[in-house]
Amino acid sequence: MAADITDLHKMDQIRVLFVCHAGMKIGLGHLTRMIAVSQSLKIKGVNDFQFLIFGEVINRSDLGGVVCTFISEEKDISSELLRFVKIDPPKVIVFDLHPNYIKRSFESLFSKLAESKFILVGVDSLFNYADILDLTWIPSFIKPYVLNSCAPKSLKFGWDTYLIQKRLSKPGWQNGNKVLILTGGSDYTGLGKILPSKIDNQLSQELEIHWVQGPFATDPNLPVSTRLKWVIHKSVESLDALIVNCNYAITVFGVSFFELLQYGTPTVVFSPYDGKDDIELSALEKENVAIVSKNDETAVKDLMYLMENEKLAVSLSQNALSRFSVNGANNLAGEILSILENK
């Protein structure tokens, strides 16, 4: 079962296994981040990837030609993974798992994998195992509150750790009438039932609303007679083109929010997830990169305020762009290769 690491300069011999969650209940954020890292590794010459995805089967063009194995999220991750790597061992395993599926038994799992000489990289929710993993990558601008000053050097966080692909270039922000609305891959909290009517009733009739309906989300409940122009985009794989072509955005907190920031889009963000993101959103308010709203109702009002204050929009845009001067996915890819070369 041991990973035989030989001649690390031959990139085509480096096999990387990405282990993540994705699906209706979980969303697509974990998978999207892993795809971003795989693309950055590919640019650096690594081409042998495999994905072990716990959740529903998902068809995406950016996974074309990549070996993907889908397993129910209810299956035991440890036993399934140990069986998988025994059959077809990689050199590097990158984990991006949903926190609800993290178990105490993972300490035993990671210890077994480490003994077998696999390079282990944990993303986000695995910070409690930083002492076992070769690299722990926290896509967050703030230090995880559970960590103390003795956190290992192999743990990384900061604005340069966000795992996002930036596929397009964009000139400086310009004012306009197009508003992008993002509620997540599954719209888990059902914003599509209540938010459209609030938007249509309160915002200026001059606006064009671009609503993204995720692959696991239901159709938005639009008013029978709409005041605004609505454009519904279903199951969009890449948001880049939409982001570049829109002038403002309202989004739930998650990976897509940071996709907006990397393009400098003036954005209103909120979390509908029962206080789960309170710590990060509280810190985010001090960064002056977006307007942080309490809920979906105040988000609409905050968007109105933002659109009436062009000076504020310009400031938020410039601050957001400055935070994303370093591509986090490229950064992680470089760290992985550095570990390989030094092991």
Higher pLDDT, 306 or 150: 306
pLDDT at 148: 54
- Give 165-210 pLDDT, tens digit per residue: 888 988 889 999 999 999 998 888 899 999 999 999 999 889 999 9
pLDDT of residue 63: 87
Tokens representing 99 are: 């926190």
pLDDT-derived band at 145, boundaries 50, 70, 90: low
Q: pTM for the complete prediction?
A: 0.86
Q: What are the start and end residues of each CATH 3.40.50.11190 domain in the chain? A: 11-165+326-342
CA–CA gap between residue 57 and residue 70 (Å, rounded): 6
Query: What are the tens digits of pLDDT across the range 73-102?
Result: 999 999 999 999 998 899 999 999 999 999
Cβ contacts of residue 287 below 8 Å, gap of 6+?
Answer: 141, 319, 323
Please determine, for residue 150, whether its predicted confidence score (pLDDT) is greater than 70: no
The pLDDT assigned to 5 comes to: 40
> Tens digits of per-residue pLDDT, 258-316?
999 999 999 999 999 888 889 899 999 999 999 999 999 999 999 999 999 999 999 99
The CATH number, out of the four listed (3.90.110.10, 3.10.129.10, 3.30.70.990, 3.40.50.11190), of the domain defined by the range 11-165+326-342: 3.40.50.11190
178-323: CATH topology is Rossmann fold (3.40.50)
Using DSSP's 3-state secondary structure scheme, residue 15 falls into strand
How far apart are the C-alpha atoms of 24 and 341, rounded to whole Å? 38
**Percent residues over pLDDT 90 in the chain:** 72
What pLDDT is attached to residue 26? 85
- Mean pLDDT for the chain overall: 91
Tell me how far apart the alpha carbons of residues 232 and 226 are, in angstroms, rounded to a whole number: 13
Cα dihedral 223, 257, 336, 22 sign: negative
CATH 3.40.50.2000 residue ranges of the chain are 178-323
What is the model's pLDDT at position 8? 47
Statement: residue 11 has pLDDT above 70? no
Q: What is the pLDDT of residue 59?
A: 85
Query: Is it the case that residue 247 has pLDDT exceeding 70?
Result: yes
Contact between residue 262 and residue 173 where contact means Cβ atoms under 8 Å apart = no
pLDDT digits (tens, 9 = 90+) for 18-42: 999 998 888 889 999 999 999 999 9
